Structures are given as C-alpha cells and as structure tokens.
Chains A and B, each alone.
Chain A
Amino acid sequence: MRNPLLLLVFVFQAAVAHFLMAQSLLDRKETTVHFTDVTDSAGIAFRHISAPEKKYIVESIGGGVALFDYDNDGCMDIYFTNALTVDTANDPLASRSALYHNNCDGTFTDVTEKSGLAYPGWANGVVAADFDGDGFEDLYVTCLGHNHLYRNNGNGTFTDITDRAGVDDPRWSTGAAVADYDQDGAPDLFVSNYVDINLSKLPEFGKTKFCQYRGVPVQCGPKGLPGAGDSLFHNNGDGTFTNVSKKAGVSDPEGRYGLGAIWTDVDGDGWLDLFVANDATGNYLYHNNKDGTFTEIGLQAGVSLDDDGVPLGSMGVTVGDYLHTGQFGIFITNFSGEHATLYRHDKPLLFTDVSYASKVAPVSTPYVGWGTGFFDYDNDGWPDILAVNGHVYPQMENASVGTTYRQRMLLFHNERDGKFREVAAESGAALMTPRASRGVAFGDLDNDGFIDVVVNNLDGKPTILKNDGGSHNNWVTIKLIGGGKNRDAIGARVKVVSGELTQWDEVHAGGGYLSADDPRLHYGLQRKTKVDLVEVHWPDGKLETVGNVPANNFLVIEEGKGLSRAAPPSVKK
C-alpha cells in the first residue's frame, strides 16, 4: 500500500472491527444467564413420594414448595410438601414433608424434625405468611384431608394451631393465598379445593370414558367427578378466623376444580381481587366489592376461558407487569394439547388472550404446565416467565401420542415488545432435563441479586436451580414491613423508577401452583447504577416514597419510617 494515510485508515478500521467483534462476543456472553442444578451440593436430600403408576387422580397433583425466612436471618429457607398414596393414606407417617434451613453459604440443613412440620398428612400446597403479626412467618399447608396452620414460635419450632384458629378444610385442598381483602389490617386466607373425592370409592383406572386419554387407559378425572367448593377464612385479628366463603361469594357452589390461586389488585382500586385457576373448567376472577363480598367476573373480564371461549385445564397462575404499563398481565399453565395462556390487561377489568400473539402458545402445547412465575431472571428490568411441566399420566411415557410423562421446563424471555422467546435450551441443561415437576418457587437463595428457582418434583428429588448471574446486570431487592398486623405488607404495590425504566410489582403470599415465592420484591435495573424513585402503595392506602438509592442493594422499607436499611449482597458463596 503506497498511501500511508490509507494504510493508517485501514489499520484503524481493522482495529475498530476487531474491537466491535470482541465487544459483541463479550456482550453476548455477558447477557447469557445459566441455571445450574445445585440440589445435591446444597445438601437437599428430600424425596417426594407418589405411587409410580398413578392409578388415581389423588396421586398426581401434589408437590408444593415455599421460600420463606422462618428465623429472620435474612436468607430464604425452603419447605417442601410431601404426599401419601392410596395405599398409605391411613398412615400419616408414611411420607415426610421437609423444612430446610438456609445456612447462608449455599448449603441447607434439614431441620424438619425440630420444626414439627414433618407430617402434615397428604400435603399438597403451602403458603407462608405472618398471620398474627408477631414478626415471624407462619405456614399453612393444604392437604387431601385436614389442612394445617403452623404458628412460628420464633425459635425454630412451629405449633399446629389449626383447630384453635378455625382454618381447617377437610376437603381436597390445593392452592392457598393470603391477603387482607377487607383492609382491616389482618391477613386473611383463601383455600382452593379440587375434587370431592372419597378414598374408599375411587373410580377404577381406565374404566369409563372419563378414564381414557388419546386412547390410552389412565386415571379417572377430574371430569366425571364432583368438584369441591373453595374456602375463604377471615382473620378476626385475635388468632381466630371465620369461614366467610358463602357470605363473600367465593365458595364455588358450582364445584369447579380449583388449583392455583392468587390475590392481586386487578383494577388498581386499592382492594385486592382474587384469581382462581380451575382445572378443566372456567377460571374465576373475583372482583372485590369493598364490602367484604366479591363479584365473579371471569367471563366478562375475558380471563375465564381462552380466546376461543374454551375452558382449559388450568393449574398455575402468576401476574406481572410484563409490558411496563402498571397493569398486570395474567399467565396460566394448562394441560397438554392446550397451551399456556397469557392475558394482556388492556383496561381495568378487561383482558385479551394474547397467547399466540405473544408466542407463548405454540411451544407450550405438548406440556402439562404447573408451577409458574413472572421473574426477571436476567435483571434486564422486564419480567420473564418460567413454567415447570410434567404429565399426570405415567402411561404417556411410551404411548407415542405426541406427549411424554416427564417434561422439560419452559423459560420465556421477555422481548420487551409483548412477545416472549423460549430460551430454556440456551439457559442451562438443568432446564432441559425431563421431570414430573409441580410446584415452583422463585427467590434469591444466595442473596447475590439474581433470582434462583426451587422446584418440587413428583416422586423424586427436587431441583434447586442456581442463577449464575451471567448478565451482570444491576438490581434492587425490597423487603416491606407493614405497619399493622399485616407486617408482610401483602398486597402492597411498589413502583421502581430508574431512568426510563419504570416497573411495578406487588407483594404476594401464595400463587403459582401450590407454592409461595420469596416475599421480597426484586427489580432488574439493566446497567443502571441507581434507583431514582421507589413508590410504595401500602395495603392500607398510604403512599410512601424513597429516592436516589444505589443499585445492587437489599432495601428494607418500613411503613411510616421509610428506608430503614440498605445492604449490599452479603452471602458467602
């Protein structure tokens, strides 16, 4: 090359190109989050029990999980529910649920025996909440048979206070969700029930048309079996509850097959509404009338059925501000041959089924979906979705009918335009391992600012998925402490503003499928280094703001006192 200037330009261009390519590779590498199965190294030895053949529907449904900090040490502990079988139904000691204490170093210790939470019976779901406002998280376990409310004694032990509290439901209970629906300051309890079943008169496997799937004899139900109604227990604030299901209008006299349930303020009027995912029947959306009663508006709101007016086999439910509009969409997991449904919230109390438009429908069709949640796994500020799957019929394993018994998970990345991209295959082999999964809970187990995942799998070991934080994005996590008896501030809505990024979330207790997430709210911040504004809409209607907080901190905001603590990640790896 004769012209030295030209040579210089060429060299410069090559250097820029090289830099850009390297940067691009770096960016690509950095934005990839991987989940790793750390169940064994975490010391989790729990095994869920279920009859291998699952000849009866009662053997296919359970497997909840709760993340909660029972000892207030700042690290999320784990409770797994365990089930009995038809053969062991009369022996409550035949299966053991488990409480694992988080050692805050990546490992857990089984503290079940000491806790007194080992044998609730045929356990299905679980929700954690501080029902009595004493600062310690209590536990409610739903069962086939009698449910249990375990009061946290504050010393690592729990006491069964079900009868004293008046919150038993002897039916086949599944989902449980807690919220102060009447704004009297005390958290109330909703329990969904599934099928009205009599263990001594179980329908015979494969016998009738209700016991066939794609030509293969299978367990019977839920159709052909009577449904069981639901329960709402009003917290009297004195350690007792009153069953107000009928009076409140949420008793489900039609007997739909209730599973996942979540409280959420659908229309933003400050009063919590209730969504119940029903299997094989239309879902319920109960709108809060602000007088202790509810009006069921699922059909009118467009969330009872799918876009084609068909009731689906709904299992789990989650809500999230996936469009950054401040109006939460609803995502529901359904049966195979159907598809997961995503309802976009267009205007108050009016939704549109956008399952196909958002691209969550086609990929989810072969799967029977259960636990699910909106969570921002890569901290890019946009809620993504995880759904765990697994069929109810082991007979599908070799049936060649387009579905299988064990199934992988689905991880939907929010593409920020109303669409999702399914990215499980590129997010870690652990997500692609086929399992018969049920409940899933989301939370920051190691307090590193990235959300991990805990899954309870039917007849097998659970899966603890550690998020490697590969996106290196920033974040903020907020723990709210309410002023009255609702110390968990369940139902509070929190807006977080960072630059042009505005996100809303809500404090839930219960949701997904038979499970309860880390109650702290978590917001991804991309590369932003600070939060400009935190706006807390407390359940009692008060508004509180906190401004100018550095990213990558765990914040504690107490009602009426503002920011009481901001701490960086502290856990030992």
Chain B
Amino acid sequence: MLRKKPKVSDLRSLRLLSTLIFCAIFAASLSGQERLKISHDAAQKLFERGEDEQASVAFRALLADTEKERHALSRKPPAQRSQRDAELLGFYTRILASARNFLGLIAARHENFAEAARQFAAVRALQPGFPDADFNHGLALFGAQRYAEAVAPLEHALSGDPSNSRIKKYVGLTYVETGRYETAARFLEQIRSSQSDDSRVLLALGKALARLNRLDESRQVFEELFKSQPESAESHVMWGQIFAAQSQSREAEGEFRRALELDPKVPSAHFFLGMLSLGTERLENARQEFAAELATHPADSRSKYHLAFVMMALQQTDQAIPLLRQVVAEQPGYAQAYYSLGKALLQQGNTRESIEHLETATRLDPSKAYSHYQLARAYQRAGRTAEAEKEFKLTHGLEAKQNSGPSHTPEDTP
C-alpha cells in the first residue's frame, strides 16, 4: 500500500490545528475575557507574520466566540445589568471591532476590496471611533470602484485629520471618479508635491483640469507625468488615458494597443479601448473590448457594467440583465447600475422589478434627472399615475438645473 506524501497545505492545516488546540486548552484555564484577549493577540501575531490564512481562521473563530459571549450577556434586561456587565459589553465590542478590522486588512491585502469594505463598514458600526476605520472603509470602497460610496467615509476621515495628505489624496481621486472636478482639482493641487511618487495623482489632476477646460494647466500636468514615467505596459495605459482626456482618440488608442503588445493582460487597456469605441458608437468593437477586459480581469465591475450597457444598445437586453444583476450585487452603492438594470427590465416588460431597482437608483443618487425620468416611465406603465407625475416633476426640476452646464458635453449623459 502506497502512502501519500503529505501536501504543504496538509502540513499547514496540521500546524494551525495544533496551534488552535494549544490556544483552546490554555484559554480554557482562563477567564472568558482573558481568553478572548489572548486569542486576539495570537491571531494578531499570525497577521503580523503575514500568515493571512491562519490569521483569518483565528479571527473568525474569535468573532464567533465573542459574539456568543456578547449575545449571552446582552440577553440580560438592561435594568439588571451591573457595572461589570457594561464593561464586559464594551470589551466584547472592542474585540469584535478589532477582529473585523484585521479581517478587513487581510481582505484588502488580497485585493478583495468588496469583503474589506464589508468588514470595515462593520467596524465603523461597532465602534465609530475605531482608529482609521473611516479611512480604511473609504479606501476599501475606492478599491472596489464604489466611488460614490467612498466619498462619505473618506470625507469623515479627513475631517478628523485635515492635514493628512494621504487621506486628501484619496478624497481627491474619489472626487475625480464622481465628477466633482472643481473640488478634486483643489485637493490634488494641494498634495501634488507631497504625493509625487503616486502617478495617479497627476493623472487624476490632469483629467480634472481637462474636464474643467483648464487646458493649459492640464497639459502641463500631463507633460510632467510623461517625463516621470518609464515605459511599461502600465505607463502606456496611463498615457492613453491622458490622450483620451484631451479628446485625442487616435493617439489614445495607439497607447492602449501598445500596452497590450507589451503585456496582453495589463489591467484596463481593453476597458479604455472599449470606452473609446463606445464614444464613437462602434458598439460591436466596444462589446469585444469590454469582454476581453473581463476575460483577464473577471472582477472588474466597470467592464461588466459597460459590457451590459453596450449590450442594451445592441438590443441584447436579455444578456445585459444578468450582468447588471452581478454588478448591483458587487456594488450595492452604484446608482447607475441600478438605473440600467431598471431600464433593461422595463424594456423587457418586467415593470414590477424595474420599479424596485429604479427606486433604489433614485434613493442612492437623487440628483440624476435620468433616474427619475425612467422611474416615472415605469410608474406610468404600471398605472401608478400620481407617482409618475411626481417623478416627472422631479425630472423637470433637475433638468432645468442641469441646463446651466456647458452645451453638449459628454458628462450630460448617463
């Protein structure tokens, strides 16, 4: 009989098991509070050593234990709780917040930003004053491309530490992604010199200035960026974005193609090629580019959303709907995705569910006339005349406000 050679993962599991058994035996001899503290510190050590898998298991076990203890205590009616009970509840909350914070950090370290955002959101809910909770949450949302949601925690973090240029940087980057170019430019100008090692700052600043039609300043920023970046697939993607921001589509396309020649899997090159095609209504090309981006980066929600958007334009609404469902599941704060899903469902005659998603879109971002308009159309189709009229009025009011913007700019469209 052949004996199987033990695998590395088996050995790791064995080591983890023995550590946990040791901790459990040791902890059993201690009070509940001490036990949890020691388990926490042991898990933290694993985290600090970079043993994320074990640390994650340990923190999850700690969460379960702590929740159990806290649950038992919180069942006591508040009137019967002693001073000691109150202290214990506070302790459990701190342990829970810390464990979730570490789980968030682990997820972020592995670029699982959606999970990181979930954990950091829990930290903020458990203990609003937890160190860096706002910033971490904002950063995770930024990493998950949930820019609109990232604004509030990042702004909150900045209000607590107004001179922190790192926070300021992410606030500025998020403002660019959410179209607040004026404020973004102001923020990014402030930290331009202190964050000069991060090319994203100059790229975002250049884009914001271009959008604000401060073209000479934008060009200067981009020139600085050109000089500072050595050639790589990533730098060609960046240069492509610079050309695109200056409406030089042909040059932009050349840069993205060059990036793909150097590294066929370089992030975002296919995405931006898709955006260029979309801008000129080459819908089939755009569809292929977004699909190509997703083939190499399946978690890229932007590409998923835009692929669905193009499919709708190509009258492939049936195929767009499942994609949009994925996007709203991954990005629950992405108002535009709810809008598109609602619109697609309305086109398919699924008025009831369409209304549900369009209501979410208007709740998440009440400033968009197009969401209110689509919701009004959905109510109209459902025979909910009074609600439709209310939404038409909102559309009309918002539309009048939007009329004060420049003529015929791409930002006018969803």
Which residues of A approach B to under 8 Å, CB–CB? 209-210, 212-216, 221-224, 254, 280-282, 299-300, 302, 305, 307-311, 313, 335-339, 350, 356-357, 361-363, 365-366, 399-402
**Contact in complex: B212, A366 (CB < 8 Å):** no
Chain B nearest CB from A287 CB (Å) reads 14
- The answer, among B280, B388, B406, B412, for a CB contact under 8 Å with A310, is B412
Please indicate which of the listed interface residues A216, A308, A309, A362 has the most CB atoms of chain B within 10 Å of its own CB. Answer: A309
B249 touches A401 (CB 8 A): yes
B212 CB contacts on chain A under 8 angstroms: 209
Which residues of chain A have C-beta atoms less than 8 A from B246's C-beta? Answer: 215
The answer on a CB contact under 8 Å between A214 and B315 is: no
What band does the interface of chain B fall in when counting residues whose beta carbon is under 8 Å from A? Answer: 35 or more
| Chain A residue contacts of B407, Cβ below 8 A | 210, 213, 221-224, 280, 313, 335
Chain B residue nearest to A282 (CB atoms) is B399
Q: Distance (Å) between the CB of B319 and the closest chain A CB? A: 15
28 CB contacts below 8 A, A to B, read: A209-B406, A210-B406, A212-B213, A213-B407, A223-B406, A223-B407, A224-B404, A224-B407, A282-B396, A282-B399, A299-B376, A299-B392, A300-B389, A305-B395, A305-B399, A308-B414, A309-B369, A309-B373, A309-B395, A310-B369, A335-B407, A337-B279, A356-B313, A356-B315, A357-B315, A365-B280, A366-B281, A402-B279
Closest chain A CB from B338 CB (angstroms)? 14
Please pick, from A280, A336, A350, A399, the residue contacting B403 in the complex, using a CB distance under 8 A: A280
C-alpha gap A223/B407 in the complex (Å) = 5
B402 to chain A: which residues have CB within 8 Å? Answer: 311
Contact A339 B281 (CB under 8 A): yes
B249 touches A337 (CB 8 A): no
B266 contacts A by Cβ under 8 Å: no
Is there a chain A Cβ closer than 8 Å to B49's Cβ?
no
Q: Taking A299-B373, A308-B414, A311-B399 as given, write out 12 further A-B residue pairs in contact, using a Cβ cutoff of 8 Å, ordered by the A residue number.
A: A215-B215, A224-B404, A305-B370, A308-B413, A311-B402, A313-B407, A313-B408, A362-B283, A362-B313, A400-B248, A401-B248, A401-B249
Verify A309–B370 contact, CB threshold 8 A: yes
Question: Which chain B residues numbered 357 to 407 have a C-beta less than 8 Å away from chain A?
Answer: 369-374, 376-377, 380, 388-389, 392, 395-396, 399-400, 402-407
Interface residue ranges of B272-316 to A (CB < 8 Å): 279-283, 312-315
Set of chain B residues within 8 Å of A311, measured between Cβ atoms: 399, 402-403, 412
Q: Which residues of chain A are within 8 angstroms of B282 by Cβ–Cβ distance?
A: 362
Say whether B414 contacts A310, CB under 8 Å: yes
Contact of B400 with A366 in the complex, beta carbons under 8 Å: no
Residues of A within 8 Å of B403, CB to CB, are 223, 280-281, 311
Is B230's CB within 8 Å of the partner chain A?
A: no
When A and B form their complex, which 8 residue pairs have the shortest distance between CB atoms, in order from nearest? Answer: A309-B370, A309-B373, A223-B407, A214-B247, A365-B281, A362-B281, A401-B247, A212-B213
For B219, give the chain A residue with the smallest CB separation: A215
Residue among B380, B405, B407 having the largest count of chain A Cβ atoms under 10 Å? B407
The reply to whether the CB of B250 lies closer than 8 angstroms to some CB of chain A is yes
Q: Is the interface of A mostly helix, strand, loop or mixed?
A: loop
Q: Which B residues touch A357, using CB under 8 A?
A: 315
1/0 per residue, CB under 8 A from A, across B97-121: the answer is 0000000000000000000000000
Note all chain A residues with C-beta closer than 8 A to B389. Answer: 300
Residue of B nearest to A355 (CB): B313
User: Per DSSP, are chain B's interface residues mostly helix, strand or loop, or mixed?
Assistant: helix
Does B188 sit within 8 A of A, measured CB to CB?
A: no
**Min distance, Cβ B209 to any Cβ of chain A, angstroms:** 11
Which of chain A's residues have a CB closer than 8 A to the CB of B408?
A: 213, 223, 280, 313, 335-338
Docked complex Cα distance between A402 and B252 (Å): 12
Q: Which chain A residue shows the least CB distance to B389? A: A300
Residues B38-78 near A (CB distance < 8 A): none
Using Cβ atoms and an 8 Å threshold, which residues of chain A touch B313? 356, 361-362
Per-residue CB contact flags for chain B residues 205-249 toward chain A (1 = under 8 Å, else 0) read 000001011010000000000000000000000000000001111
* Bound CA–CA A222/B369 (angstroms): 20
Q: Which of B215, B315, B396 contacts A299 (CB 8 A)?
A: B396
CA distance A350 to B281 in the complex (A): 27
- Asked if A400 and B250 sit within 8 Å, CB to CB, the answer is yes
In the complex, the answer to whether A310 meets B248 with C-beta atoms within 8 Å is no
Selected from B372, B388, B404, B410, the residue in CB contact (under 8 A) with A337 is: B410
Chain B residues positioned under 8 Å from A305 (CB to CB): 370, 373, 395, 399
| Complex-state Cα separation, A282 to B400, whole angstroms | 9
Which residues of A have CB within 8 Å of B280?
Answer: 365-366, 402
Query: In whole Å, how far is B215's beta carbon from the nearest beta carbon of chain A?
Result: 6
Distance of A305 Cα from B392 Cα, bound (Å) = 11
A446 to chain B, nearest CB (A): 37
**With A215-B213, A299-B396 as given contacts, are A402 and B414 in contact (CB-CB < 8 Å)?**
no
Q: Evaluate whether A224 and B395 lie within 8 angstroms (CB atoms) in the complex, with A308-B370, A309-B371, A309-B414 already known.
A: no
Contact check, B410 vs A309: say whether CB atoms are below 8 A apart: no
Taken together as a complex, chains A and B put the C-alpha atoms of A282 and B279 apart, in Å, by 22
Complex: A337 Cα to B408 Cα, angstroms? 8
B406 touches A212 (CB 8 A): yes
Kindly list chain A residues whose C-beta atoms are within 8 Å of the C-beta of B406: 209-210, 212, 223-224
Do A254 and B400 contact each other (CB < 8 Å), given the known contacts A212-B213, A215-B210, A356-B315? yes
Chain B positions within 8 Å of A338 at CB level: 408, 413
Residues of B within 8 A of A222 (CB): 407
Docked complex Cα distance between A86 and B247 (Å): 30
> Measured between alpha carbons, how far is A109 from B245 in the docked complex, in Å?
52
CB-defined contacts of A254 to chain B, threshold 8 Å: 400
CA A335 to CA B404, docked complex, whole Å: 18
A356 — nearest CB in chain B belongs to which residue?
B313
Bound-state CA distance A385–B176 (Å) is 41
Name the CB-closest residue of B to A213. Answer: B408
Which residues of chain B are near A299, meaning CB under 8 Å? 373, 376, 392, 395-396
Instruction: Please indicate the chain B residues that have their CB under 8 angstroms from the CB of A401 in the complex.
Output: 247-249
- Chain B residues, Cβ within 8 Å of A362: 281-283, 313
Contacts of B405 in A (CB 8 A): 223
Once the chains bind, are A309 and B250 in contact (CB under 8 Å)? Answer: no
The residue in chain B whose Cβ has the minimal distance to the Cβ of A364 is B281
Q: How far is the CA of A337 from the CA of B279 in the complex (A)?
A: 7
A311 to B412, CA, bound (A): 8
Whether A310 lies near B370 (C-beta < 8 A) is yes
Q: Min CB distance, A470 to chain B, in Å? A: 30
A190-B391 Cα distance, complex, nearest whole Å: 30
Please tell me if the beta carbons of A309 and B247 are within 8 angstroms of each other in the complex.
no
- Chain B residues near A350 (CB, 8 Å)? 380
A281, A299, A402 — most chain B CB neighbours (10 Å): A299
Q: How far is the CB of B121 from chain A (nearest CB, A)?
A: 31
**Chain A nearest Cβ from B1, distance in angstroms:** 67
User: Which among B371, B388, B399 has the greatest number of chain A C-beta atoms within 10 A?
Assistant: B399
